[in-house]
Amino acid sequence: MQIYIDGEYYPEGDAKISVFDHGLLYGDGIFEGIRFYNGRVFRLEEHVRRLFVSAKALLLDIGMSPEGVADAVRATIRENGLTDGYVRLLVTRGVGSLGLSPFLCPRASMIIIADKIALYPEEKYSEGLKLVTCSTRRPPPAALSPSVKSLNYLNNVLAKVEAIQGGAEEGLMLNEQGFVAECTGDNIFVVRDGSVRTPPSSAGGLPGITRDVIFEIAGELGVDLRESELTRYDLFAADECFLTGTAAEVIAAVELDGRPIGDGKPGPVTERFVGRYREIVGVEGTEIG
């Protein structure tokens, strides 16, 4: 595997960053997870745009144009001879001193990893996931905006630990008001009486790119889809539930806190979204070249 670091490629064993990099020391940086299928990078422009918006929010100068970043992503995929897989694109504040000030880091650092990924076992895509509600809450937007895809993921990691220790594959995260925000790494949707609901980003979830695709698919399929505040009860009362994310794609959730969601199996509305999503990613995207 060849890993891109600041314009150069390094074998996996030689790919290193400084111990003084503020991404390592303080989680000061941003990232994107990007999928590519059949020689095409899915929603590359949207991912790069979100990266630059996150950078702007952190006063982080990436040091490249959006077009340059997109070209670097495609070149890294080509360098590794892949046609299907996953890209992890990171931008750190760069090397600085042992202090919080970002202004002591003269130059940002970019890392691009292109590899295969399997977030959940294949059988879970036919069986569905079990969820547990985590006691770890999502930070309020005034503390750390969920719209910034930062390297500071400790909140999500702690919730993931709870989920695994609770015997589930994913954890449901609430905000400080007790409303559903998202899962530890995925957006969440519920289906009831044929209508689909998902929490607004203001509830504490990331405005996901796969989430946006679901809104587009709902329009195609004529499915009523709206943003709405949700509680745990709304999941208990739902006919179906599914999660979305770049790595996870679209996957059913069939149990929450020991209670089956609907009949405890992936439902027909979920399966329509899964099927259409797989059709779209198979034909759309930016050519790797």
- Residue 117 has a pLDDT of 87
263 by Cβ neighbours in 10 Å (0-12 / 13-18 / 19+) ranks as exposed
Catalytic residue list: 149
| pTM, to two decimals | 0.94
- 236 alpha carbon, distance to own chain's centre: 25
- Residue 245 has a pLDDT of 96
**CATH T-level assignment (fold) for domain 2-115:** D-amino Acid Aminotransferase; Chain A, domain 1 (3.30.470)
Q: 2-115 with 124-283: one CATH topology? A: no
When pLDDT is cut at 50, 70 and 90, the band that residue 229 belongs to is very high
So where are the chain's domains?
2-115, 124-283
* pLDDT tens profile 62-121: 999 999 999 999 999 999 999 999 999 999 999 999 999 999 999 999 999 999 988 788
Span 234-252, average pLDDT: 97
Which is it for strands 109-115 and 240-245: parallel, antiparallel or unpaired? unpaired
- Residue 261 has a pLDDT of 98
Q: What three-state secondary structure class fits 144?
A: coil
Percent of the chain with pLDDT over 90: 93
Give 99's contacts (C-beta < 8 A, 6+ positions apart): none
For residues 127 and 190, give the distance between their C-alpha atoms in angstroms, rounded to a whole number: 17
CATH class of 124-283: alpha beta
* pLDDT tens profile 2-48: 999 999 999 999 999 999 999 999 999 999 999 999 999 999 999 99
